[in-house]
Amino acid sequence: MRIGIDARKILNPQKNESIGVGHYTYQLIRHLLEIDDENEYVIFFDANVRQKDVRKFTRKNVKIVFYPFFDYKKYLPGVYNEILALAIISREKLDILHVTSTEVQIPATYKGKVVLTVHDLGVFKTPKSYRKIARMQAKTTKRLMIQKASHVIAVSHIIKDDIVNIYNIMSETIDVIYSGLDKRFFAEIKNYNGKNVPKKFGITKKYILFLGTIEPSKNITRLLHAFSLFKEARIKKNRRELCDYQLLIAGKPGWLAGDIKHMVRDLQLARDVKFSGYVIGDELIPIFKNAEFFVLPSLYEGFGTTILEAFATGTPAIITNAGSAPEIANNAAKLVNPIDTKEIAQAMIEFANDEELRDEFRQRGLKRAEDFDWQKTAKKTLEIYKKVMLV
């Protein structure tokens, strides 16, 4: 088989591409190349990606192709981008083109077989969490891509069910393949202690960790209100003027991120809530491992990689009961209703007060994390390629 993979979502985190999709694409390609030296792979990158960054994908059975219109797309009308893209893809004579996200649009006139991975349908489930124009564009792009796909890979059963219900697609054309988990998260704790990493972000006490893009779908406004209630309870319990916990909000700023910082001031939490911004690779494991526990109260999760990262680093987790989160956690995390601020606060209070409870969820999480492996993901994806070729 000659397999094309659209990799335009990786190696460009500074350009605001989806970090989760980029990670998925990177890990999938990496592990496919490890297990498969029989098929040919054509990997498509944007022209601005540095040559040295793609060397890690160099193999005898790999061809690297650069889309030439990264610098042109803001000047050329969409129809010309469509023509250029079609020409680039068509000349490679692919048996299968794998598009790893509905955020990437391939030419509408492309006639080849397409495998599409769907990670998130939050725009349909929590539409008010998105800008109006972004919501309209996302809905249009997702519909076009899903209807064009020869076969769909859903990253969770919830995503599969949503695709069937929203688009009236036959379930036989959709397979669920869980994403994997980076093996570095299973490394020895002693190698990733990193006590000074939280201090870099102003953390001077025990802390609760949130990790994710700062945007409405992550429900940070309710998290802040819950933390305010948590703070009051801790002060009352300890009979002190100050809270013995801080909240670290880690992740790149997204839509309405500025409102979150205003809310921190309004709630008088400036000393208690700290922001790290985008967390680079070497800092990620230490901020998990040094946290007392992790909280993810999202309004919707398509998969929830950060849940697994918390599990693998031995960080007890309180997570939303919305979307795929309960499916991914499988009883290894404390579930809360993301709309109920008091319920979120109560779960945080219970975790802070009960070390045995934290340890119980820590052990459950470590065990659950072992079920997610990128090599399994790659093998099952390769099976989909073979399945599509038979149709």
User: Taken in order 377, 379, 385, 388, is the CA torsion positive or negative?
Assistant: negative
Pair (134, 174) in one structural domain:
yes
Q: Are residues 61 and 75 in the same domain?
A: yes
Co-location of 226 and 105 in the same domain: no
Tell me the average pLDDT of the chain. Answer: 90
Asked if 273 contacts 227 with a C-beta cutoff of 8 angstroms, the reply is yes
CATH number, domain containing residue 294: 3.40.50.2000
Q: What's the pLDDT tens digit per position in 333-348?
A: 999 999 999 999 999 9
Between 20 and 302, the more confident residue is 302
Among left, alpha and beta (phi > 0; psi -120 to 50; other), residue 112 is beta
Interatomic CA distance for residues 118 and 173, integer angstroms = 13
One domain for residues 209 and 194: yes
Per residue in 154-170, pLDDT (tens digit) is 999 999 999 999 998 88
CA atoms within 13 A on the CB side of 178: 18
Give the pLDDT confidence of 284-303 residue by residue, as tens digits: 999 999 999 999 999 999 99
Q: Comparing 62-76, 237-251, 258-272, 331-345, which segment has the lowest mean pLDDT?
A: 62-76
User: With 60 as the cut, is the pLDDT of residue 13 above it?
Assistant: no
Together in a domain, 237 and 294:
yes
Identify whether residues 157 and 211 lie together within a single domain.
no
Quick one: 381 and 364 in the same domain? Answer: no
CA distance 145 to 103: 9
Containing domain of residue 47, as a range? 2-180+373-389
**In a shared domain, residues 233 and 359:** yes
Taking only the tens place, the pLDDT of each residue in 210-251 is 999 999 999 999 999 999 999 999 999 998 889 999 999 999
24 burial via Cβ count (<10 Å: 0-12, 13-18, 19+): buried
pTM of the model: 0.92
| 260 lies in the same domain as 190 | yes
pLDDT, position 369: 96
- Round to whole Å and give the CA distance between 162 and 158: 6
Q: How far is CA 77 from CA 69, 73, 84, 136, in A?
A: 11, 7, 11, 19
The mean pLDDT value for 75-83 works out to: 63
Number of domains comprising the chain: 2
Whether 142 and 23 share a structural domain? yes
Q: What average pLDDT score do residues 125-150 get? A: 89
Ordered strands of the 206-211 beta sheet? 273-277, 245-250, 206-211, 293-296, 317-320, 334-336
**322-331: per-residue pLDDT in tens?**
999 999 999 9
Q: Give DSSP secondary structure letters for 202-243.
A: T--SEEEEEES-BSGGG-HHHHHHHHHHHHHHHHHHHT-SS-
pLDDT digits (tens, 9 = 90+) for 81-126: 678 888 899 999 999 999 999 988 788 889 999 999 999 999 998 9
Q: Are residues 311 and 165 in the same domain?
A: no
pLDDT score at 71: 53
- pLDDT at residue number 116: 97
The first and second tokens of residue 276, run together, are 């790290």
3-state secondary structure of 195: coil
Q: How far apart are CA 260 and CA 221, in angstroms?
A: 7
Range of lowest pLDDT (258-267, 292-301, 308-317): 258-267
Q: What is the predicted pLDDT for the residue at 49?
A: 77
Are both 140 and 209 inside the same structural domain? no
Q: What is the mean pLDDT of residues 260-268?
A: 93
Pairwise CA distance, residues 185 & 311, whole Å: 9
